[in-house]
Chains A and B, each alone.
Chain A
Amino acid sequence: MSAAGPSPRRALPQPPGEGTPVGTRLWRVLAHAFAHNPVLMLAAALVVVQVLASVFAPLIAPYDPVAQAVESRLAAPSAEFWLGTDKLGRDVLSRILHGYQSSLGIAFSAVLAALLFGGTLGIWAGFKGGWVDRVIMRLADVLFAFPIILLAIGVIAILGTNATSTVIAIAVVYAPIFARLMRGPTLVLRSADYVHAARSFGSGDLRIVVWHIMPNLASVILVQASLSLSTAILLEASLSFLGIGSQPPAPSLGRMLSEGRDYIFIAPWACIFSGFAILLASLGFNLLGDGLRDRLDPRLRVID
């Protein structure tokens, strides 16, 4: 932490003239990174295409994802049904597009909630130190002690099996990760010279945190959020595969795979394509986070 510091700015030439806002520089780094790194471009393309597909699923899906057509059940991929149909004659492509919507929606909400809750607590812990820090970090340690799936099962057992409890369950799993991640840099930054300077000008805690500490966490947040989304998509899929995620008839990639599994020997497409969709969604965010980490976090780039 000492030599490279948590800030991506040190690795860059300072822009000429007086201080450009930090945000602009981060965007400049990102633009440069995307333009010069084919893997990052591929990752961005994967993410953008899938996010657009999920947002516009109702417009681009060729069929109603829950409409049953018994006469064409378990149909193989064809010009009519590009990815085939499932046991109830529902179009697999349309279900995957709508499944993206629910998977990405749940994963986004959960990671955002984890970031807001865990991140705030982590910054608070790092900034205040003392017993606040100890209590929050011990709580994070306790949450870390649970195997992920058991923590999620526990939350879902309390709140019932539906999409909202899936969001909360995943958020509970990821909140301590963000808390730990935010605490470290905050702890270092709170004794930085410019923070002391700001304080001597009469800035309050909130102003210091928002204007002087949080901009420095932006790149860490970006990387971790992207990597967390990648695994949150898998966790959501696991939970709906186990039947404790969102409930039918809402299309969900994990449940599609679970239903398709029963017909894997006569109609493998539902199972194969829904699993591949989960893999692609998770892969896109993982490549993005991995590539951004290389570009934005000089400390990690040196080690690995």
Chain B
Amino acid sequence: MGKLIVRRLLDLGGVLLGVSVLVFLMIRLIPGDAAQVMLGASGDASESQVEQLRQQLGLNDPLPVQYYHWISAMARGDFGVSIWTGKPVLEDIAERIGVTAELTILSLLLAVLLSIPAGVLMAYFRGGASDFVLRVVTITGVTMPGFWLGALLIFGWAIWFPNWQTLGSVPPFTEQPWAHLQRMFLPTLTCALPVIASLARIMRSAMIDALSQDYIRTARSKGLNEWTVTFKHALRNSLIPYVTALGIMAGYLFSGAIVVEQVFAIPGLGRLMLGAIADRNYPLIQTSILVVTCSFVVINAIIDLLYRVIDKRAGASV
């Protein structure tokens, strides 16, 4: 087990290093002079301003030296400053990332809550018409543009619930918890709906697999009731492939959240980054991508390691 953990940590370190190098190269890959391009957005920048920004970003050093400076600055907590306001980019990101993270987590929870029972039921009543309906629903979910679903929901809600505020900034949970949840409801639904069917389908396959195992036959022959067999024996064992899929879905939901935010005019990370593209505020884009991607990598690694520790069989088959 110790060996496994060390190997996983090495893998993790490798991916984090790779991610940081790619994000680092971002500014350096800009065609032409990056400093010139960044200041170009404001119209006329003098040669001395360009040179100053070049100095500030350390673009005159050799690449490995630049990378070393960049990484060690981040280790000290310095993630760069906005090239327009001079404000640390981490402050901007911290201000905006909360609502995006909340949207991702809420929609993940909603998807899990609905997809597990749906998958179990579909595994239990498999075959025939229910499989066909499932397939249609899954494919529609996968091909449904989230922003369209969001727009249709806004349209429908305005007709069915005229007093339900659907657009604009979200009141903080601490001040108006009910209004906050009410505002988050439609965006969460929009993010979650397309993935529920896919997750339910994964749950269904895993469950069918588990139900056909010998220990299920043993459990039944011991005279255990169907409920215990299904929910205690089969469900627990089919959760392993499901949890693996959840890690991938979380990244997918985050991508969806960035788009859905725009539909519902929620000022989250998506809006911040789109503004930064228009302003060519590269330090902000770089840091956002780096922080979010590394969080996902680390969270996925922790989940992976946790269930390998819990499930000895999965650990053995690494």
A residues bordering B, Cβ < 8 Å?
Answer: 138-139, 141-143, 145-150, 153-154, 156-159, 161, 230-231, 234, 237-238, 241-244, 254, 257-258, 260-261, 264-265, 268, 271-272, 275-276, 278-279, 282-283, 286-287, 290, 303-304
- By DSSP majority rule, is chain A's interface helix, strand, loop, or mixed? helix
Q: Which one, A138, A156, A158, A161, contacts B14 given CB within 8 A?
A: A138
CB contacts between A and B, total, < 8 Å: 131
Q: Complex: how many Å from CA A157 to CA B262?
A: 18
13 A-B pairs with C-beta separation under 8 A: A141-B15, A142-B19, A146-B19, A147-B252, A147-B255, A154-B285, A157-B282, A234-B143, A242-B262, A244-B277, A264-B155, A279-B144, A290-B139
Nearest residue in A to B23 (C-beta to C-beta)? A154
Q: Is the CB of A147 within 8 A of B292?
A: yes
Q: Complex: how many Å from CA A156 to CA B205?
A: 38
Q: Is the CB of B18 within 8 A of A141?
A: yes
Binary interface encoding of chain B residues 224-259 relative to chain A, with 1 for a CB under 8 A from any of its CBs, else 0 = 000000000000000000000000000110110011
Given contacts A145-B15, A303-B205, contact A241 B252 (CB under 8 A): no
- Residues of B with C-beta under 8 A to A254: 145, 147
Q: Complex: how many Å from CA A138 to CA B19?
A: 11
Q: Complex: how many Å from CA A141 to CA B18?
A: 9
Q: Which one, B148, B205, B251, B285, contacts A279 given CB within 8 A?
A: B148
Q: Complex: how many Å from CA A273 to CA B33?
A: 43
Q: Which one, B139, B255, B293, contacts A283 given CB within 8 A?
A: B139
Q: Is the CB of A243 within 8 A of B29?
A: no
Q: Is the CB of B140 within 8 A of A149?
A: no
Given contacts A142-B15, A157-B285, A265-B158, contact A279 B259 (CB under 8 A): no
Known: A254-B147, A264-B155. 8 other contacts (CB 8 A): A146-B19, A153-B289, A156-B277, A157-B26, A238-B259, A257-B147, A272-B152, A275-B151
Q: Is the CB of B152 within 8 A of A241?
A: no
Answer yes or no: B154 CB below 8 A from chain A CBs. yes
Chain A nearest CB, measured from B96 CB (Å): 14
Q: Complex: how many Å from CA A72 to CA B161?
A: 31
Q: Complex: how many Å from CA A304 to CA B204?
A: 10
B residues bordering A, Cβ < 8 Å?
Answer: 14-15, 18-19, 22-23, 26, 29-31, 139-140, 142-148, 151-152, 154-155, 158, 205, 251-252, 254-255, 258-259, 262-263, 270, 273-274, 276-277, 280, 282, 285, 288-289, 292-293, 296-297
Q: Is the CB of B259 within 8 A of A241?
A: yes
Chain B nearest CB, measured from A86 CB (Å): 14
- Residues of A with C-beta under 8 A to B139: 283, 286-287, 290
- Please provide the 4 A-B residue pairs with the shortest distance between their CB atoms, ordered closest to farther: A275-B148, A142-B18, A149-B255, A282-B143
Q: Complex: how many Å from CA A243 to CA B273?
A: 12
- Residues of A with C-beta under 8 A to B276: 157
Q: Is the CB of B277 within 8 A of A146?
A: no
Q: Is the CB of A150 within 8 A of B270?
A: no
Q: Is the CB of B254 within 8 A of A147?
A: yes
Given contacts A145-B297, A158-B26, A264-B154, contact A279 B145 (CB under 8 A): yes
Q: Is the CB of A241 within 8 A of B143?
A: no
Q: Is the CB of B285 within 8 A of A145?
A: no
Interface centre among B26, B146, B151 (most CB of A within 10 A): B151
- Residues of A with C-beta under 8 A to B14: 138, 141
Q: Which one, B19, B29, B154, contacts A145 given CB within 8 A?
A: B19
Q: Is the CB of B285 within 8 A of A149?
A: no
Q: Complex: how many Å from CA A241 to CA B274?
A: 11
Chain B nearest CB, measured from A90 CB (Å): 19
- Residues of B with C-beta under 8 A to A286: 139, 142-143
Q: Is the CB of B145 within 8 A of A150?
A: no
- Residues of A with C-beta under 8 A to B26: 154, 157-158
Chain B nearest CB, measured from A273 CB (Å): 10
Nearest residue in B to A280 (C-beta to C-beta)? B143
Q: Complex: how many Å from CA A126 to CA B251?
A: 27
Q: Is the CB of A146 within 8 A of B289?
A: yes
Given contacts A142-B18, A154-B289, A268-B155, contact A148 B251 (CB under 8 A): yes
Q: Is the CB of A158 within 8 A of B30?
A: yes
Q: Complex: how many Å from CA A119 to CA B31?
A: 26
Q: Is the CB of B277 within 8 A of A264?
A: no
Interface centre among A138, A147, A231 (most CB of B within 10 A): A147
Nearest residue in A to B262 (C-beta to C-beta)? A242
Q: Is the CB of B274 within 8 A of A237?
A: no
Q: Is the CB of B145 within 8 A of A238?
A: yes
Q: Which one, A142, A157, A276, contacts B277 given CB within 8 A?
A: A157
Q: Is the CB of A159 within 8 A of B205?
A: no
Chain B nearest CB, measured from A60 CB (Å): 24
Q: Is the CB of A237 within 8 A of B29?
A: no
- Residues of A with C-beta under 8 A to B205: 303-304
Q: Which one, A147, A230, A241, contacts B293 given CB within 8 A?
A: A147
Q: Complex: how many Å from CA A83 to CA B121?
A: 41
Q: Complex: how many Å from CA A231 to CA B14?
A: 29
Chain A nearest CB, measured from B26 CB (Å): 6
- Residues of B with C-beta under 8 A to A149: 254-255, 258-259
- Residues of B with C-beta under 8 A to A287: 139
- Residues of B with C-beta under 8 A to A260: 151
Q: Which one, B15, B140, B143, B255, contacts A150 given CB within 8 A?
A: B255
Nearest residue in B to A268 (C-beta to C-beta)? B155
